[in-house]
Amino acid sequence: MLLTSVKTPCVGICSTGIGDNVCRGCKRFSHEVIDWNSYTHEQKMIIAQRLENFLTQIVQIHFHVANEDLLLEQVKHQQILFKPEQNPYCWLFDLLRAGANQIQDLSLFGVIQLASSAHLSLADIRDHIDKDYYALSCAYYDRYIIPEFFKHD
């Protein structure tokens, strides 16, 4: 079985170098950023899946992807950098990162903005998603990773 490589989640905005335990750019933990190149394929997949699950969970608070094929077609047409192997809600966040201010009609992308977020602009939602994604990664780090470092055998 041929394994496809797991691309680094790095987005080029690393805050672990200034002391953050969770990167504000890619949301990986500092030790994951440092050790990424030494990880096995399986370890990288676990990290990538965690990040994808967190992002999907947050984006679904604001949107419903009604037509995955249309979203994929439009993301490709708009030449958005995205990972096709990821959940469509991750594609949607990549789309918002690239052009939230330019999008006038989400239905052209097969996406419905949920009523609970209807009062927010797409740029505001994008910023809320990024903050919540970071907060979720930090909460996970504080709850499950930090205690592991302090376990006594």
Q: Which residues contact 88 (CB under 8 A, 6 or more apart)?
A: 65, 68, 71, 72
| Residue 71 near residue 109 (C-beta atoms within 8 A) | yes
Q: What is the pLDDT of residue 64?
A: 98
Q: What Rg do the C-alpha atoms of the chain give, in angstroms?
A: 17
Average pLDDT along the chain, 153 residues, taken 10 residues at a time: 79 89 96 95 97 98 98 97 96 97 96 97 98 98 85 57
Q: What is the pLDDT of residue 78?
A: 95
Q: What is the pLDDT of residue 6?
A: 86
Classify burial at 83, counting beta carbons within 10 Å of its beta carbon; exposed 0-12, middle 13-18, buried 19 or more: middle
Q: What is the pLDDT of residue 2?
A: 63
Q: What is the pLDDT of residue 1?
A: 57
Q: What is the pLDDT of residue 17?
A: 84
Q: What is the pLDDT of residue 61?
A: 98
